[in-house]
A and B are shown apart, each in its own frame.
Chain A
Amino acid sequence: MLNMQNVTKIFRTDLVETRALSDFNLHVKEGEFVTVTGPSGSGKTTFLNIAGLLESFDDGVYDLDGENVRHLNDTQRSRLRNEKIGFIFQSFNLIPDLDLFDNVDVPLRYRGFNGSERKRRIERCLELVGLANRMKHLPAQLSGGQQQRVAIARALAGEPRFLLADEPTGNLDSKMAHSVMQLLKDINDEGTTIVMVTHDPSLAREAKRNIFVKDGKVSDVTHISASAPEPIASISASGARHV
């Protein structure tokens, strides 16, 4: 599904060259739920941006669903993002001026579906996240957990093969975080591949495999049994980072 070999990303300023990723190797199989953890500045976000085709890289090979993405132009990358990848962001990134229906509609518009198809998908996805009855609400009228559910509905609406989640529970309290995690696991059980970036090791334990990133390299891989997960706790404090 996702295959990175020796992917290298260098940030250059006039004075210094920073290797955000160097010879990064990762292989994610179809249907996997992989978490990526690591300390701040380890390259997690860079990995996420490259994996999500949000940023280009300097060296190495990245195949997404069997397609080498290294030399795709902006429009091709946009289409690939639209068709194959679903994004879930830490701060939800809902569009404040649009109601839930129109928010979930955004990627479908770029996909070029006709009106009835879009409506069918939006309703189904909002149903799935339990917000079908609030379709005409604005994001500001929802709680954080509900907003993230809308974001998940938006990510799923295009029926992507691959979900990329960036600290999806980072702005939520533990109870909401738990239910969002449960939702993601359900989605994964349906067959969607998920890669989730988090700095919280306790969350990582929920996944099937955890990758620990340090200094732009994969430094450790942990396979986790599918047995009973530990309860997720003490995540809510992370919100303070973002003031």
Chain B
Amino acid sequence: MLHLSSWEIGPIFRAMTRNKVGAVLIALQVAVTMCIIVNAVHILMERTMQMARDSGIDEANSFYLSSTGFADDFNDQVVIQTDLDAIRALPGVIDAMQINAIPISGGGWSMGLQTQPGAEFEGVGTAVYMVDDHVLNTLDLELIAGEAFKPSDIRWRQRSQRDWPAEIIITRALAENLFPEQSYQDTVGKTLYINDDEPVIVKGIIDKLQAPWVGWERLENAMLSPEQTLFSSSTYFIRTEPGRLDELMPAVEQMLADSNKGRVVRGLRSMQETRDRTYRRDQAMIKILTTVMITLTLVTALGIVGLASFNVNRRRKQIGTRRALGASQVSVLRYFMLENFLISSMGVILGAVLTVGLNIYLVQSLGLTKLHWWLIPVGMLTLWLVGQLAVLGPARRAAATSPAIATRTV
């Protein structure tokens, strides 16, 4: 049998106002905890979403390494061709090519592309990948419009060479950035201008390929330029059959080192490793924030347990009296749960205000994004729940108080 009157909200509230400090302390704790947790979860979600973005390539089965020649008789062009032929011939290798920069690695080459010639027009920034005709297969890209590079399209690029090949392939995102009003299919064959006025023609469109810089707002703007580079150092990108990466990485490194003593082979790294390194700070932030949230919740919960236990001890006589006057164990339990609920309610309401306040500060001064509104009710519910769970133990001990305490005089 439940009567609303036996919920004692009024008396609990009035008793609380006579014992403000304890209640205010818990409420403040709940409020600040909520503020931290909700903002931390927000940052966490933001980072997780950033990290979940697809680079467009077959990361799980790809790796790369660099070769730098130093011997006087070192012939880049010959060595690169020999190396690539040897790597492609290895069992387990799907394909390989030379590339000037690695997606999501942090270092690369960018250019501006514009739809009209002239220095006065603003360009659209894009990452530049210098690749050969094996690119689609090596990076696992899908050509969604136009044509792929043919072997005859590929040229050699000298160290300080300034001009660009006649045709390029661009990502769908770049196409849509350049021609916002047109569908990407229609951009095939269009002329773009690089270096203000040098024309290049869009030969094809690929679905997706990320730039090297993950913090860049135009991360998916990338172009493929059909050329192999004759710079001081060459990087080979290799895609293997699933499961053969671990065995092929050292094998390729050894093979290259053995084939020519006039060079240094270095920088052997898998794409997975590259991703880990690139997102290391985000990973770290996620771990730190998770630790903070867990310990903080624990601290707050322990604080509630501590204060509630103390209050139960202090009010033993009172509880006994209530029991003697007819309070059932359930009513005593309910009394403490309800008391905590009321305090938590004040806390989470203040917490909601603080949360929004901190978020506004973080948005303004540290460039975070705005909070999703629904995180606030979720945060409130969570802290209510934490409070109720924390107080459950002390409340059960209170409920177990014998009514005979009431007749004890000391």
Q: Which chain A residues have a beta carbon within 8 Å of chain B's beta carbons?
A: 45, 48-49, 52-55, 74-75, 78-79, 81-83, 87, 89-91, 93, 95-99, 102, 105-115, 118, 138, 154, 158, 166-167, 170, 241-242
Docked-complex contact A75 and B330, CB < 8 angstroms: yes
> For B19, what are the chain A residues with a Cβ–Cβ distance below 8 Å?
97
Taking A93-B317, A110-B326 as contacts, is the C-beta distance between A49 and B404 under 8 angstroms?
A: yes
Tell me, rounded to whole Å, the shortest Cβ–Cβ distance linking A104 to chain B. 10
Task: Please report the C-alpha to C-alpha distance between residue A81 and residue B327 in the assembled complex, in whole angstroms.
Answer: 9
**Chain B: interface size category:** 20 to 34
A–B complex contacts, Cβ < 8 Å, 6 sampled: A55-B403, A93-B321, A97-B14, A97-B18, A110-B327, A241-B409
Task: Please report the C-alpha to C-alpha distance between residue A118 and residue B329 in the assembled complex, in whole angstroms.
Answer: 22
Taking A45-B407, A110-B331 as contacts, is the C-beta distance between A82 and B326 under 8 angstroms?
A: yes
Docked-complex contact A48 and B6, CB < 8 angstroms: no
Docked-complex contact A106 and B15, CB < 8 angstroms: no
Known: A83-B326, A166-B407, A242-B409; 18 extra A-B contacts, CB below 8 A, are A53-B403, A54-B402, A55-B402, A78-B331, A89-B321, A89-B324, A90-B409, A93-B324, A97-B14, A97-B15, A98-B11, A109-B11, A112-B5, A112-B6, A113-B5, A138-B18, A158-B326, A167-B409
Task: Please report the C-alpha to C-alpha distance between residue A105 and residue B10 in the assembled complex, in whole angstroms.
Answer: 11
Taking A114-B5, A118-B5, A242-B410 as contacts, is the C-beta distance between A107 and B325 under 8 angstroms?
A: yes
Docked-complex contact B324 and A87, CB < 8 angstroms: yes
* B8 part of interface (Cβ distance < 8 Å): yes
Taking A82-B326, A110-B328, A112-B5 as contacts, is the C-beta distance between A105 and B11 under 8 angstroms?
A: yes
* B392 part of interface (Cβ distance < 8 Å): no
Docked-complex contact B328 and A74, CB < 8 angstroms: yes
Docked-complex contact A89 and B14, CB < 8 angstroms: no
Docked-complex contact B325 and A110, CB < 8 angstroms: yes
Task: Please report the C-alpha to C-alpha distance between residue A112 and residue B2 in the assembled complex, in whole angstroms.
Answer: 8
Task: Please report the C-alpha to C-alpha distance between residue A167 and residue B408 in the assembled complex, in whole angstroms.
Answer: 11
Docked-complex contact B6 and A110, CB < 8 angstroms: yes
> For A112, what are the chain B residues with a Cβ–Cβ distance below 8 Å?
1, 3, 5-6
Taking A49-B404, A89-B406, A114-B5 as contacts, is the C-beta distance between A106 and B322 under 8 angstroms?
A: yes
> For A110, what are the chain B residues with a Cβ–Cβ distance below 8 Å?
6, 325-328, 331
Docked-complex contact A93 and B406, CB < 8 angstroms: yes
Closest to A158 in B: B326
> For B50, what are the chain A residues with a Cβ–Cβ distance below 8 Å?
none
* B369 part of interface (Cβ distance < 8 Å): no
- Which 7 residue pairs of A and B lie closest in terms of their CB atoms, listed nearest first? A82-B326, A112-B3, A97-B15, A78-B328, A93-B321, A107-B325, A54-B403
Tell me, rounded to whole Å, the shortest Cβ–Cβ distance linking B60 to chain A. 62
Closest to B408 in A: A45
Task: Please report the C-alpha to C-alpha distance between residue A167 and residue B5 in the assembled complex, in whole angstroms.
Answer: 32
Which of B6, B318, B323, B409 contacts A95 (CB under 8 A)? Answer: B318
> For A89, what are the chain B residues with a Cβ–Cβ distance below 8 Å?
321, 324, 406-407
Closest to B410 in A: A242
> For A93, what are the chain B residues with a Cβ–Cβ distance below 8 Å?
317-318, 320-321, 324, 406
Which of B14, B320, B329, B402 contacts A98 (CB under 8 A)? Answer: B14
Task: Please report the C-alpha to C-alpha distance between residue A79 and residue B329 in the assembled complex, in whole angstroms.
Answer: 11
Task: Please report the C-alpha to C-alpha distance between residue A79 and residue B323 in the assembled complex, in whole angstroms.
Answer: 10
Which of B10, B325, B407 contacts A82 (CB under 8 A)? Answer: B325
